[in-house]
Chains A and B, each alone.
Chain A
């Protein structure tokens, strides 16, 4: 284990060859002291790490760095999401240092949803650097002890386990693996994918990933979202760009007597299916506004107990 890059629990679990489980939480829209603790019992012991979103869908929320600090107090291992939408290179590097100093050991570098989807579409976006350049920046700070300017860090380097997103369902399909290769070259230690519903397409993408041996250079975690209803799935299919949902799944939920139970069944099946695919090293469960279902999902997918490392 001496070749671990960081003290991240997620890295430890993955390096030990365990099938990793990540969760996700969207911080509150108020300054609540219990923003994280109210969901903590649904997560502690059920996941290896939890993502905290960064103004997800461009809606203002409690900051991801603050949520991550609260999560640590609850005994959770936080993954700090960081988008390039809201901060320029100065603010991003400053927050990386701050987060690392506060004990946050995982970061997920993202482009971020465009602000037109959010509650303040009149805001100015930043996009000073893009998500691949952000990956490179964090890796450089950690490994070369250098800022983007080339100047040296003067104190401790941020020992972060660095993550990136990948969307096998977006277009152009042929470019999706090239983009992953770029993210790996830029320094992505782990990858979390967009939610998988179209397992066939995901498999095709993973095949291309393995053909380039990228699965040996980075840990790939497949994303899943437990669907609550046929309507929720239809919304994802029709209104979320870059998502693919087979009609068959929508039909199953539409015909179910208890859509929520069926949603759990679908999500568990998806987790079991992706687990069988070569190169997949874990799952990333995003229970958008349905946090309390997470223990059931992890349990039914046969992913308990979580390793105590």
Chain B
């Protein structure tokens, strides 16, 4: 899923300078699961904003809204009335959610309330880790299901750099070295011969480096 975390309250409030009423809009999909933009977070942030507005001497009315999925137009129509009644919206959706709202509600000011961080998973309660960079040409078949593009700090394709020590990456003792994980997994699978082969250079044109991406499925187009 997409993992996000809330922006600092001050940044959110600074963006609302001079605004009289605002809707805080949550999203019930990814950001609910990662506890950044669900119903509970909408309610907490709204309270914090009311207090902060008071402290700043700002007369700010805050309403709370929830959308099933901010990144799909059809769900956005459901909140159109709430959106029309406020001067601005703080979206607690991911980057796609904020943009979907900004495009759909053409005359409304939509502000991001989250920083969208990565595609990842909860490793334990309260700890999320990055898993995929959406490179567009998945190579997990060659790496024992561990992604070197996203999880190796240098995106090494041919084994661990010289900084791998005791299972950790050179950048941080708390971060696993992806190549140690790849090595361990391939050893378990008895597929070590893969590690002897030189992986050729990657075609990054399938990733963001090829420009903004689109997928067009003729079979699904109506």
Asked if A and B are interacting partners, one says yes
A127, A130, A166, A194: residue with the most chain B Cβ atoms closer than 10 Å: A130
Least Cβ–Cβ distance between B142 and chain A, in angstroms: 14
Are B183's CB and A182's CB within 8 A?
no
Among the listed B154, B155, B164, B202, which residue makes an inter-chain contact with A171, where contact means beta carbons less than 8 Å apart?
A: B164
Q: A102-161: which residues lie under 8 A (CB-CB) from chain B? A: 111-114, 116-117, 125, 127-133, 136-137, 148
Are B180's CB and A129's CB within 8 A?
no
Among the listed B170, B180, B196, which residue makes an inter-chain contact with A242, where contact means beta carbons less than 8 Å apart?
A: B170
The answer to whether B100 has its CB under 8 Å from any CB of chain A is: no
The answer to whether A170 has its CB under 8 Å from any CB of chain B is: yes
Are B166's CB and A128's CB within 8 A?
no
B-side contacts of A148, CB under 8 Å: 201
Are B170's CB and A194's CB within 8 A?
no
Are B158's CB and A132's CB within 8 A?
yes
Among the listed A112, A185, A186, A242, which residue makes an inter-chain contact with B165, where contact means beta carbons less than 8 Å apart?
A: A242
Once A125-B154, A133-B200, A178-B196 are accepted as A-B contacts, the answer to whether A165 and B162 lie under 8 Å apart by CB is yes
Among the listed A111, A125, A129, A178, which residue makes an inter-chain contact with B161, where contact means beta carbons less than 8 Å apart?
A: A111
The answer to whether A228 has its CB under 8 Å from any CB of chain B is: no
Once A125-B154, A170-B164 are accepted as A-B contacts, the answer to whether A114 and B195 lie under 8 Å apart by CB is no
B-side contacts of A85, CB under 8 Å: 154
The answer to whether B108 has its CB under 8 Å from any CB of chain A is: no
A-side contacts of B158, CB under 8 Å: 130-133, 179, 182
The chain B residue sitting closest to A166, CB to CB, is B162
Once A114-B154, A114-B170, A130-B154 are accepted as A-B contacts, the answer to whether A241 and B164 lie under 8 Å apart by CB is yes
Among the listed A116, A171, A194, which residue makes an inter-chain contact with B160, where contact means beta carbons less than 8 Å apart?
A: A171
The answer to whether B114 has its CB under 8 Å from any CB of chain A is: no
Are A172's CB and B160's CB within 8 A?
yes
Among the listed A111, A185, A194, which residue makes an inter-chain contact with B154, where contact means beta carbons less than 8 Å apart?
A: A111
Are B196's CB and A181's CB within 8 A?
yes
A-side contacts of B180, CB under 8 Å: 171-172
The answer to whether A215 has its CB under 8 Å from any CB of chain B is: no
Complex: A242 Cα to B161 Cα, angstroms: 9
Are B200's CB and A170's CB within 8 A?
no
The answer to whether A89 has its CB under 8 Å from any CB of chain B is: yes
The answer to whether A167 has its CB under 8 Å from any CB of chain B is: yes
A-side contacts of B169, CB under 8 Å: 241
Q: B185-207: which residues lie under 8 A (CB-CB) from chain A? A: 195-196, 198-202, 204
Once A114-B154, A132-B198, A242-B170 are accepted as A-B contacts, the answer to whether A171 and B162 lie under 8 Å apart by CB is no
Contact code string A177-216 (vs B, CB < 8 Å = 1, else 0): 0110110011000000010000000000000000000000
Complex: A113 Cα to B157 Cα, angstroms: 16
The chain B residue sitting closest to A116, CB to CB, is B171
Are B171's CB and A133's CB within 8 A?
no
Complex: A84 Cα to B183 Cα, angstroms: 23
A-side contacts of B162, CB under 8 Å: 111, 165-167, 170, 194, 242
The answer to whether B153 has its CB under 8 Å from any CB of chain A is: yes
Are B163's CB and A241's CB within 8 A?
yes
The answer to whether B156 has its CB under 8 Å from any CB of chain A is: yes
Q: B102-124: which residues lie under 8 A (CB-CB) from chain A? A: none
Once A175-B195, A178-B159, A182-B196 are accepted as A-B contacts, the answer to whether A241 and B201 lie under 8 Å apart by CB is no
Show 24 residue pairs from A and B whose CB-CB distance is below 8 angstroms, ordered by the A residue. Answer: A84-B154, A111-B154, A113-B163, A114-B153, A114-B170, A128-B204, A130-B155, A130-B156, A131-B156, A131-B161, A132-B157, A132-B159, A132-B198, A133-B157, A133-B158, A133-B201, A167-B162, A171-B160, A171-B165, A171-B177, A182-B196, A194-B162, A241-B165, A242-B163
Contacts A113-B170, A114-B154, A133-B198 known; 15 new A-B pairs at CB < 8 A: A84-B154, A111-B156, A111-B161, A114-B153, A130-B154, A131-B156, A148-B201, A171-B177, A175-B195, A179-B159, A182-B158, A182-B159, A241-B169, A241-B170, A242-B163
Top 8 nearest A-B pairs (CB, nearest first) are A167-B162, A241-B170, A132-B158, A241-B163, A127-B155, A111-B161, A179-B159, A242-B163
Chain B interface residues toward A at CB < 8 A = 153-171, 177, 179-180, 183-184, 195-196, 198-202, 204
Chain A interface residues toward B at CB < 8 A = 84-85, 89, 111-114, 116-117, 125, 127-133, 136-137, 148, 165-167, 170-172, 174-175, 178-179, 181-182, 185-186, 194, 241-242
